[in-house]
Structure 1
Amino acid sequence: MRTRIIPTLLLKGHGFYKSQKFKDLRYLGDPINILKIFNEKEVDEVLILDISASKEGAEPQYDLLRDLAGEAFMPLGYGGGIKDLAQIKKILNMGFEKVCINASALNNPQFVKEAAKVFGSSTISVMIDVKKSFFGRYEVYNHTNGKSSSEPIKWAKELEELGVGEIVLNSVDRDGVMKGYDLELVKEISSQVKVPLVASGGAGSIQDLYSAVGSGASAVAAGSLFVFQGPLKAVLISYPSDDDCNRVGFSR
């Protein structure tokens, strides 16, 4: 089975951005233009996350999402501001393959169960943002209020029982740093759940993608790796070819 490599794009207003440790946003460009480039590179899937919708309690930007879905040749996932089933239905009807829920799942776990039951598990993924505490303990981080709560393993197991089709495991501490995934975290969670796990946060090379899969990830997501080039991090959209992956033993 082909291992998915998923560019993650952060949407704010009408632009795509990249963050570092959930801060220091850097503008990347026009969403339509960036999606067109990913079309040409035949990417496996793209995950679009509206980073302001949940914080501001705003609705998803339906008009923009409709334009993006109409432009994309690859499967699309969307997260941000999703609070009810009607929103999910509207987004899926636009052509998005799945939705990625985060804050609403923490606030109301039963919402995830209802969504999976109504739309099918394969369309519902949940992102778990994980941050290390001052004492070095992994904790689930809620980006809407900046607070940490339950243990990631406990939360992942609960999500599996609720029927999610996929868990996106994201390291806040490694976001945008490009020094590799938190492989310890990936191993820990993947060994405890059977639901597909997407590693996110920290990829800086194709070797990092390979290492995450070797640690138990079913798929890998990244942002900086696909939008920055060189030590000065010039904005340049890229995506690894099959040959690139094969050079490090990453068979796709």
Structure 2
Amino acid sequence: RPIAEMQFIDFITCGFDQIINMANKMYWRVGMPVPIVIRGPSGGGTRGGPFHSSSPEAWFFHAPGIKVVVPSTTYDAKGLLKAAVRDNNPVLYLEHKLLYRLPELREELPEEDYVVPLGKAITRREGEDMTILTYGAMVHQSLKAARVLEEENDLEVEVIDLRSLTPLDREAILESVKRTNKVLIVHEDTLTGGIGAELAAILAEDLFEYLDGPITRVAAPDVTFPYAPPLEEAFLPNADKILDAARKLAAY
């Protein structure tokens, strides 16, 4: 059960054919599983510039036969990695580089064996006024925004950490939005064709009559990742941008 590491996930394009045309199709062609895990440090906020900062999850989210997971905590990083190694499918395991550097994510992990099941989201914060669907580093920006919304706007915002993008935990997504009736989707990847577009389609198809406002997305703009620090700050989604979008949605 090999574990390959792309030093930066941006370089995964050099192995695209082997992953998308071979590893993910092998079982369907000859019945042979390919239990490989591909680890990839991803995401921005570290002054890495255009070749060391990408979030390419949508490329693989679209491809049948490969699973995609994105941990946001230390506990999940270990549990999802172990689940990925034990899975008989190729799994893309995205590690946001910024999370390596956050001291608040340091924690003592259980000594006993555990896994975090693939395909299971988790509620990081409960609420009744709105749901935020997010993953990876944006979980922490969303939680920061949710705390401010409670303090300043008396809004109880539920934050769902998807953890697995493929397979998606549709049950958790639909249950939350059906109850809160408003949804904000947050991801660091660029807006067009991102994970948020598929989530929006699912919600529009399955929960249209439950929505009390437009399905709203916060994501990076459709431009190449910048190098200059001020441009990187302007490019990346953050708590302030989430706050602005959430307040507009709440007032709808």
- TM-score norm. by structure 1 comes to 0.28
| Greater per-residue helix proportion | 2
| Greater per-residue strand proportion | 1
- TM-score norm. by structure 2 comes to 0.28
